[in-house]
Chains A and B, each alone.
Chain A
Amino acid sequence: MEATIVKDKEKSIWNILETVCDPEIPVLSIIDLGIVRAVQVNEISDTVELTITPTYTGCPAMDMIGAQIRLALAEAGYHQVNIQQVLSPAWTTDWMSESGKQKLQAYGIAPPVATNFNQVYLEDLEIACPNCGATNTKLVSEFGSTACKALFQCKDCLEPFDYFKCH
Chain B
Amino acid sequence: MLQQSIKSFIQQDQQIQYLLHLADNALILSHRNSQWCGHGPILEQDIALTNIALDQLGQARNLYQYAALLITEKTGISTTEDQLAYLRDVGEFKNCLLAELPNGDWGQTVLRNFLMGSYQFFLYQELQQLASGQLKAIADKSIKEITYHVRWSADWVVRLGDGTTESHARMVQALELLWSYTGEMLEPCDYEQGLIGTQSSYIKAAWEAKIAAVLAEGNLVHPTNDWMQSGGKKGLHTEHLGYLLAEMQFLQRAYPGLEW
Interface residues of A (CB under 8 A from B): 54, 56-60, 86-91, 117-118, 121, 140-147, 151, 165, 167
Contact = CB atoms under 8 A, between A and B. Distances in A.
B57 A58 contact: yes
28 contacts: A54-B58, A56-B54, A57-B58, A57-B59, A57-B141, A57-B142, A57-B145, A58-B54, A60-B54, A86-B137, A87-B134, A87-B137, A88-B141, A89-B140, A90-B137, A90-B141, A90-B144, A117-B144, A117-B147, A118-B147, A121-B151, A140-B44, A141-B45, A142-B48, A143-B148, A144-B47, A147-B55, A147-B145
Contacts of A88: 136-137, 140-141
Given A57-B55, A57-B141, A121-B151, A143 B47 contact: yes
B62 to A, nearest CB: 6
Contacts of B138: 87
A58 B58 contact: yes
A146 B148 CA distance: 14
B58 A165 contact: no
Contacts of A167: 144
Contacts of A86: 137
Interface of B: 44-45, 47-48, 51-52, 54-59, 61-62, 134, 136-138, 140-142, 144-145, 147-148, 151-152
A98 B137 CA distance: 27
Q: Main SS of chain A's interface residues?
A: loop
B205 to A, nearest CB: 20
Contact of B54 (A90, A147, A151): A147
Nearest to B51: A143
Given A57-B145, A58-B56, A87-B134, A147 B140 contact: no
A58 B61 contact: yes
A140 B43 CA distance: 11
A87 B141 contact: yes
A86 B134 CA distance: 9
A57 B62 contact: yes
B139 to A, nearest CB: 9
A167 B149 CA distance: 13
Contacts of A58: 54-59, 61
A56 B45 CA distance: 19
A62 to B, nearest CB: 9
Given A56-B58, A58-B55, A141 B47 contact: yes
Nearest to A120: B147
Contacts of B59: 57-58
A142 B55 contact: no
Contacts of B134: 87
Contacts of B136: 88
A151 B136 CA distance: 31
Given A91-B141, A142-B148, A143-B152, 13 more contacts: A58-B57, A58-B58, A87-B137, A87-B141, A88-B136, A117-B147, A142-B151, A143-B44, A143-B47, A143-B51, A146-B51, A147-B54, A147-B145
Contacts of B44: 140-141, 143, 151
A59 B145 CA distance: 12
Contacts of A91: 141
A35 to B, nearest CB: 13
A91 B140 CA distance: 10
B141 A147 contact: no
Give the most central of B51, B62, B138, B142: most A CB within 10 Å: B51
Given A88-B136, A90-B140, A142-B148, A57 B61 contact: yes
Contacts of A165: 148
Contact of A147 (B51, B142, B151): B51
A56 B47 contact: no
Contacts of A141: 44-45, 47-48
Give the most central of A54, A56, A60, A167: most B CB within 10 Å: A56
Contacts of A147: 51, 54-55, 145
Contacts of B152: 142-143
